[in-house]
Amino acid sequence: MKLRYRIVLIVILLALSYLFYLLAYHYVRVGGVLSAVSFWTAVGLMIPKRFYNMVWKEVKKGKAYWVSAALYMTFHVLLYGAFYEIIFGGVEYLPYVAVDFGAAVPPPWPYFIQYETEAIGFTFYLYGFVSDAIPYTIFLGFILSLLLGANVQRVIELWKTVKSMKKSTTLVVLPTIGIVSGTSCCLSLPTLIIVTVAAGVGAVFSVLPILASSEYYILVYYVLPLGSVALLTANLRDLNRVLRCKVTK
């Protein structure tokens, strides 16, 4: 699709998302679904075509690609929200498994973008564990899954190339570390520990007020996945450069 057509389509979709946002004042679920789909489709079109070529078209999609992408998507959608539910709400045993769908009541227009991140959502209940999958986490999970699948596939290709040329397999270590760093950025153990301490201690003794604040929660929940996207994209570019070059002695 030519750039000018993409721009026109993006503008149309964003306009539709706002109109559907207004519709959601009267029809919460219908308006929420249509608004979220329009908005995040527009966001997807804003991503350069080169990115999709890098994570999809130019990558041989073997088992490693599909398995790693599927596993991460499952983790991100089902478990990412559950960790924060555990931290802030705890776990209470409930003897059932269920899935619920809901829609957010539209806020005033200055909060339009925030509304689009959580306009609709699925809530998963699994014996006391509760996880919310909202448009933002689903979209970022999809992007990260493509990136992870492409990175894993490229690492395997690099390993095979290095092995066939009888080079040291330690050359594959750094790209692998890059993948681990990228995927762990949005849900690192130190971050979880800090948030847990801040939520538990800060509310009572006013210790670490910044970390206990909603602003820090927003940073962790919304910003860190973007850091993962940046790290995995940079790692994939480096892998592509290495694979395009002939390994020398």
- The tokens for 205 are 């003794």
Tell me which of 60 and 46 has the higher pLDDT: 46
**What is the pLDDT, as a whole number, of residue 198?**
45
| pLDDT tens per residue across span 143-187 | 999 998 998 888 888 777 777 765 555 555 555 554 545 455 554
Where are the domains positioned within the chain?
Answer: 51-92+128-244
- Rounded to an integer, what distance in angstroms lies between the CA atom of residue 222 and that of residue 184? 14
**What is the pLDDT, as a whole number, of residue 83?**
63
**Average of per-residue pLDDT across 207-213:** 51
Tell me which of 68 and 81 has the higher pLDDT: 68
Tokens 């002695």 correspond to what residue? 249
